[in-house]
Structures are given as structure tokens and as C-alpha cells.
Amino acid sequence: MKIKYLLLAAISGAIIAADQAVKIYVHTHFALHESVDVIPGFFNLTYVRNPGAAFGFLAESHPWFREIFFLSMPPVALLIILAILRGVLESDRWTIVSLSMVFGGAIGNYIDRIRFRYVIDFLDFHIQKKYVWPAFNIADMAIVCGVSILLYLEFTKNRATKQAPADNPPAT
């Protein structure tokens, strides 16, 4: 088996395991909206149910649309990631790692959608509860980090391509 698929399985598996373990703990030990200060004035563990996507996107849409959309999109995204990964060189480890992070995060949240029809969020950052960031979870972090790495890689690749000297400089 190719190394890139072993990396995909290991990285995404670790993300899924960590994400689901903490979500199970929060779901079974916290009441809905219960919050525990971890770093007072900055970070809490808070049990939140998110029926939408990131930042509650589509949370207010019609329930049948939301269910169809959120149950059909992750498998499509996973297939796209696998198709992209197929064309990635074994030596391109950062691309493999980042795709694996997105893959694992997508599966972590998809498990919640299948089980509960919502995603369990629990990481709650704020500044004195005045400036509040929407709650999120380990799967969300993996997706954001993976996409950020992919964007960085693409930006630096395009920048390097533009700065590389031309093979055939113009005649003077």
C-alpha cells in the first residue's frame, strides 16, 4: 500500500478518535449549554449543538433541506479529497497531511450528523464573554488547519512559479 494512503488512514483516524472521544465525554457529562471555565475570561468547555455548518451557517434553514444537504455533502467531499490525493506525489507530504486533516475532520463531524442530526461543539473562546468566537470542535480545527495549509502551499507554489526565471529570457 502506498505511504500516502497509510498517512491518510493514520492522521484522519487519530483526528476522528480524538474528536469523537471528547464529543462523547461532553455529550454524556455535560448538560446542554453547560460551561466549565478552563482559562477564566478566555476559554471554556461548553456543550453546544450546532445543526448548521461553521458559525451556524444554514442553521436556520428548513430542517429537511439541512438534513439532505449535510448528509449528502460530506461523502461527496470525501470522494473529491480521495481523487485529489490520488494525483498527489508521495514526496508531497504537506499536501498529504493537510488533505488527511480535512478528511478526518469531515468524517468526525459526519459521524455526529448521522448519529444526532447536529454537530457537538465544545471549544468556547471569548474575551471576558464580551467578544465571543462561535464554539467549535476538534474536527473543525482539523478542517481549518488542513485547508489553511493547502492555501499556504498553493500560495507559495504560485509565488515561486511567478518568481522563477524564465527558461528563455527575451533577446536584447
Active site residue 124: no
Active site residue 112: no
The residue annotated as part of the active site, out of 19, 112, 121, 124, is 121
DSSP string, the chain: --HHHHHHHHHHHHHHHHHHHHHHHHHHHS-TT-EEEEETTTEEEEEEEESSSGGGTTTTS-HHHHHHHHHHHHHHHHHHHHHHHHTS-TT-HHHHHHHHHHHHHHHHHHHHHHHHSSEEEEEEEEETTTEEPPPB-HHHHHHHHHHHHHHHHHHHHHHHHHHSPPSSPPP-
The residue annotated as part of the active site, out of 19, 112, 124, 140, is 140
Residues marked active site are found at 121, 140
